[in-house]
Each structure stands twice: as structure tokens, then as C-alpha cells.
Amino acid sequence: MRELVVAIRLFIVLTVLTGVVYPLIVTWIAQTAFRDKANGSLISKDGKIVGSRLIGQPFDDPKYFWSRPSATVPFPYNAAASGGSNLGPLNPALVGGKDSAGKEVPGAIADRVEALKVAGSSEGKVPTDLVTASGSGLDPHISPEAADLQVARVAKARGMTSDAVRAIVNAHTEPRQLGLFGEPVVNVLELNLALDVAQQQ
């Protein structure tokens, strides 16, 4: 019985410490020292929020660079319900084959490769990251190769030179962190916003 009383009292004290004091102190420091990041690295344009630097958006217009496929529901890049496709490596819905009803289906990857071709990115092999869904469904990045594939199409759709587009891509390519960590990537939303600005000028 004594132990039960101690359990209840200690539970309350530790709850206050780890569930109230700790997150509040961290929040206070974060909001003081890293205000922009702590609030979601939001991007504003003309006074309204157009997204977050860390959260991707869907694009299928030829004049924009396309992001990676997103498996969030009910629409891609739903930042209120993150998640991946969870398709297994042999699932016909991903790689094609006979589905459970015995019907031959092309699979998501084939559809995406086809969509890229239709939009005008048809030369060369397609980088794998550009046609596979990310884990979060919110991946803001694509690989530099995936950007390369789309440069000619975007330039044509915007009436810009490929070199001009490529220069903007290069400016938004992030190398490995400290030259070692992770992979080199291109931030798609920032790149597309920069393209819109460049074209207006």
C-alpha cells in the first residue's frame, strides 16, 4: 500500500517534470534561438504561405520540376497524413504483373515512366528515385540526376534556355552535408519557386 502511494506521487512529479517542464523549456529555447525552423521553415510569397522548405509539393505541369511520387491519401503530399506506399518489392501494383483478380496491370512505376515520357522527358534512363514513392510521402527532394532528366522539358515549356534552367538547378542543389552525410539532393519546391521568379524578370 505504501508503495502504491509512492507510485502515484512519483508518477505525478515525473509527469510534471518530463511532460510539462521539459517540453516547455525546449520550446522556449527553440522559439528564441531557432524561431523560423521551430515553426516549420515556412515559405511566404506575397504575404501568404506557399509551403515549407522541408515539405514537398506535387507537380505534374511540364513547366515545373516534378517531385517524387507520394503515397499519402487522399491526395499526394498531404502534410496532415504522412506515410509511404508500403508496397512490397514484388507487388504488381508497384512493378506490374497479374493482380489478385488475375488481370495484367502495368504497375505504378511503368505509369510514372510513361507520364514523364508524355510530358517530354524521354531521353535516357529514368532515375529510380523519381518514380518510386518516398517513405514520408512528403520528400522535398529529388536526386540531381532526377533534376537533370527534367531540365530540357522545363526549359522548353518555359521558353528558357537549358543553360539558364540548369544554372538555377545548380543553385538549388545541396551537396552531402559536411561532404559526407546523406546524399546530394535538389529541393524541388524552392527550385520551382525560383524558376517562377526568374521567368517573371
- Per CB under 8 A, contacts with other proteins among 88-147 are 88-92, 94-100, 109-110, 113, 125-129, 131-143, 145
Asked if residue 8 binds other proteins (CB under 8 A), the reply is: yes
41: left (phi over 0), alpha (psi -120 to 50) or beta: left
Q: Does 73 bind other proteins (CB under 8 A)?
A: yes
175 binds other proteins per the rule CB under 8 A: no
Q: Is 23 in the site for other proteins (CB under 8 A)?
A: yes
Interface with other proteins, residue 155, by CB under 8 A: no
Cα angle: 167, vertex 164, 49; to 5 degrees? 75
CB of 137 to other proteins, least distance (A): 7
Nearest to other proteins of 21, 163 (CB atom): 21
The footprint of other proteins on this chain (CB under 8 A) covers a number of residues equal to 110
Q: Which is nearer to other proteins, 32 or 201 (CB)?
A: 32
Question: Which residue has 500500500 as its cell numbers?
Answer: 1
The three three-digit cell numbers of residue 194, written as one number = 525560383
Chain Cα centroid distance, residue 85: 14
C-alpha span between 14 and 134 (Å, rounded)? 38
- Per DSSP, 154 falls in state H
Min separation Cβ 47 and other proteins, Å: 11
Shortest spacing between CB 158 and other proteins, in angstroms: 14
Selected from 30, 119, 152, 157, the binder of other proteins by CB under 8 A is 30
Query: Shortest gap between Cβ of 156 and other proteins (angstroms)?
Result: 18
Residues 6+ positions from 27 with CB-CB distance below 8 Å? 38
Give CA–CA dist 139/165, Å, rounded: 22
CB of 136 to other proteins, least distance (A): 4
Interface with other proteins (CB under 8 A), residue from 115, 123, 167, 182: 182
Closest alpha carbon to 194 in 161, 178, 170: 170
Cα(120)–Cα(154) distance, integer angstroms: 9
